A = this chain, B = another copy of it.
Amino acid sequence: MRDDTYELTLLYDFFGELLTDTQREYFEYYFSDDLSLSEISELTGVTRQAVRAVLQRAQALLRQYEEKTGVVARFREIGRRVGELQGKLEKLAENVDGGARSLVEEISAGLEELKG
């Protein structure tokens, strides 16, 4: 897995549809299927340099979309805060029982889904 695969895949999850078909195709070959530039070049009949250029453009666009919208950062911040609230719920769970306890568990499960 490449160094920045995790970050780029996250950006791709949000903004991938804003790329062209070719950019998406090569992106998936490279980042999801882990093919090399040469392998993609052979597969598509396009020069290795051209494959690299498409991939660089795709990555630059994805980063630009995030820079301009901050969407992924907003979702990350939600995930962070949800984690904090889950910590508080765990503390709460220790201090209640019966019906209250099952309510706490329901809320905790609901929070877990928010991260998804």
> Footprint of B on A, CB under 8 Å?
14-15, 17-18, 65, 68-69, 71, 74-75, 78, 81-82, 84-85, 88-89, 91-92, 95-96, 99-100, 103-104, 106-107, 110-111, 113-114
Copies per complex?
A: 2
Tell me how far the C-beta of A10 lies from the nearest C-beta in chain B, rounded to whole angstroms.
Answer: 13
Q: Is the CB of A92 within 8 A of B84?
A: no
Q: Can you list 9 A-B pairs, Cβ within 8 angstroms, ordered by A?
A: A14-B71, A78-B114, A81-B114, A85-B107, A85-B110, A91-B103, A92-B103, A96-B96, A107-B107
Q: Which residue of B lies closest to A14 (CB)?
A: B69
A interface: dominant SS: helix
Please judge, given known A-B contacts A78-B78, A99-B95, A114-B81, whether A65 and B18 are in contact too, CB under 8 Å. yes
CA distance A92 to B96 in the complex (A): 10
Q: In the complex, given contacts A14-B69, A96-B96, what are 13 additional A-B residue pairs having Cβ atoms less than 8 angstroms apart?
A: A15-B69, A17-B69, A18-B68, A71-B71, A74-B75, A81-B113, A81-B114, A85-B111, A88-B103, A88-B106, A88-B110, A92-B100, A95-B96
